[in-house]
Amino acid sequence: MKLVVLTGAGMSAESGVPTFRDALTGLWSRFDAERLATPGAFRGDPDLVWGWYRWRAAQVLRARPNAGHDALATLECLGHDVHVVTQNVDDLHERAGSTRVEHLHGRLLRSRCADCGAWREPDPIVAPYDGPDDGRREAPPRCERCTGPLRPDVVWFGEALPERAWDAAVSATAGADRVVVVGTSGLVQPAASLPTLARRRGVPVLEINPSRSALTHDVDDYWAMPASMGLLRFVDSLGAV
């Protein structure tokens, strides 16, 4: 079966990765996460923004895939054609073993030059973090090519999605036998439009979420449960090809 699984913050939250809706603590308690995740915030105070993302990267590196991530990798092992489309910027799907993952909002554990776009190896955003548990300001490294500041390779508010990832997500959704939406509020566009695209093509959509979302009224089936519980149930319902 050709499956597209759209995952949101609720998926990673079960691995202990904070969501943007969680209250910030420590150094960041004075700030709204959405105000830190903008090009303007980086231009205005690059040390603050880079420090926040370095702290977030350290949290992700300590996190481990949960049973939901493992369930999606199991579906591949059972012979299903699984295409994961995620709004999350962590690498937990890949670490669990999923082989086709589209990151609509970029990747936290990778950085690039804010001026020329060049990469740097080894990537400084994943270097060991020796700051306090509640974070610290940290000057972004400079690009070896043009001396511009490095920034996390994520999609900030006001920026366009990566074209290749978006095109792949749309293509996979249109050609799927079934779409599963897991742990997303359904409020962030254009990702939230993918389930609607599926239904217009006659593709059935299942939503797995502990509480109803902006998408629930427009899906074929809704399971009110956490991501890992729902995906384990989904694997059991399909079995091997």
Active-site residues, by number, are 105
Encode 191-227: b = buried (16+ Cβ within 10 Å), e = exposed. bbebbebbeeeebebbbbbeeebebeeebeebbeebb
Peptide bond into 18 cis (omega under 30): no
For residue 52 the two structure tokens come to: 């926040």
What three-state secondary structure class fits 205? strand
User: What are the residue ranges of helices labelled H in the chain?
Assistant: 9-13, 33-36, 39-44, 46-62, 67-77, 92-96, 163-174, 194-200, 227-238
Distance, in Å, from the CA atom of 159 to the CA atom of 176, rounded to the nearest integer, reads 28
Cβ atoms of 64 and 139 within 8 Å: the answer is: no
The edge-to-edge listing of strands for the beta sheet with 81-86 is 101-103, 81-86, 2-7, 178-182, 205-208, 221-223
Residue in the block written with tokens 């499956």? 3
Other C-beta atoms closer than 10 Å to the C-beta of 92 total: 24
